[in-house]
Structure 1
Amino acid sequence: MNDPPGVRPDPAMRLLGLYDEALPRVYGYLLARSGSAAVAEEVTAEAFLAAVAACRKPDPPPLTVGWLIGVARHKLVDHWRAVGRDRQRVEPLADHDPGCDPWDVQLDITVAHQVLATLSYPHRAVLTLRYLDGLSVAEVGSCLDRTTHATEALLTRAKRAFRSAYEGKEGTR
């Protein structure tokens, strides 16, 4: 169907054609990283709303599933930041004892996911982006609006927190 002369079609309609293919992949990406269906659903919705807004800009980005997953990654980081800010107002951050690097051992994937869900949001974000998404420390820092040195320090604290929680969880099995 042709549009009447002078009427410009809504560029966000192009997103509709990609929706059926992209939705399960974006949701699956978020579910695997958040460990929560509720969070994955909420962030998936936010990602698609952001995609619609981006499509309506004068120079819209190329619409691909990869681009949508990138939008979803940024929205998940935004979610973790918001929750982390809320949590920091209520709970002081725990100081963890230093330990050896937990990435040098084989991990029980189920226990690892459970432990990851118990960590503070900044720790969960840095570990997820670095080790699940495979981003470099500099790329993680960019996602979290931190310098490389600050990201390295956060990653060190997150590893220690993970190790401590993982060993405690493993001892209860």
Structure 2
Amino acid sequence: MSGDVRAEDLLRELAPRVLGVLVRRHGDFAAAEDAVQEALLAAAQQWPAEGVPGNPHGWLVTVAARRMADQVRSEQARRRREVADALARPGGEPVAPAADAPAERDDTLTLLFLCCHPALSGASQVALTLRAVGGLTTAQIAHAFLVPEATMAQRVSRAKQRIKAAGATFRMPAGAERGERLGAVLHVLYLIFNEGYTATAGPDLRREDLSAEAIRLARAVHALLPGDGEVTGLLALMLLTDARRAARTGPGGELIPLAEQDRSRWDRAALTEGVALISAALPHGPVGPYQLQAAIAAVHAEAEREQDTDWAQILGLYELLAEVAPNPMVSLNHAVAVAMAKGPGAGLELLETLEADERLARHHRLDAVRAHLLEMAGDWEAARESYRTAARRTASIPERRYLESRADRLR
């Protein structure tokens, strides 16, 4: 591993811990986050040339604290007593500091809870998590979600302002609020992973930096909450899904569906870890949606060949998932499982019940699943038209090429 790569990985790992130290000391999340970003930039410029310091965490804390002090002095020189007046106005309070704690304490989970504050939209939660906890630059986040850097910068800035206006405190929420916020944390990590594993738009099928970052953060949450079944389930799901990454594309970057993948290219270490995690979590209920999805992925992982897949077991798991967390994508995958276990006619019949769901209107996945089931049933003409419709509706170039190739194959 090169020094540059090691330094980059280390900076990502240390970013939330350094930010936590500053927020605990000073209470102002927005100012602390800006100072940490400047410290990370300074490290990225100096460490590759001068070497990683003996105490990289302390180096970053010192530099960030100096940057923050410089900001405060500059602000005081410009505004003098206006700072005190501003703090007295409604909505002008910074994030309240918690009691001081050792600088080495890992604040990753606390930062995740703060970035997933209920005052923020889902998109803002994702952006702020990647920036503050993931250590990604605004430019990197903008590139991942195919929006201009200025747009993403505004989104991150508004998110920090909303947290400040909400009077959020840098501490773990308690009771029911903690459970609700943990659900938001897991959902944000799930969204980040999915966008990385299958990009919703653009020329690339996947964004490995995003999926890798989601796995890293999920590991951090699991290390802090190892007994939480859904935390374990989400990490297991990510590992089991990402293990298939190398087999998902051909030499030219073309998409290869699960049924046609070379399973010898799957990452056995990741599969083993994922299966072990979900196997340990399931007996200690209650069972949630991430555990059920991980269990489904584990059944796929344990089949050495596609024809060995236990579709009856997968169907049963999807039926449970549809009860626990019903949503359109679960329904689509449930229809595929029904088709594989009971025949394409049964799957198509279930698919008809989804036609009126407005959440699926004009979504390419509905047309793609219909095309797949029609192809299984031997209705090639109808399948070809559905594949073409799905191709027109997706914004992902690799998916479009794949769907068009399926349609062409049925001529």
Q: TM-score w.r.t. structure 2 length?
A: 0.19
Q: Which has the higher contact order (CA 8 A, sep 6+)?
A: 1
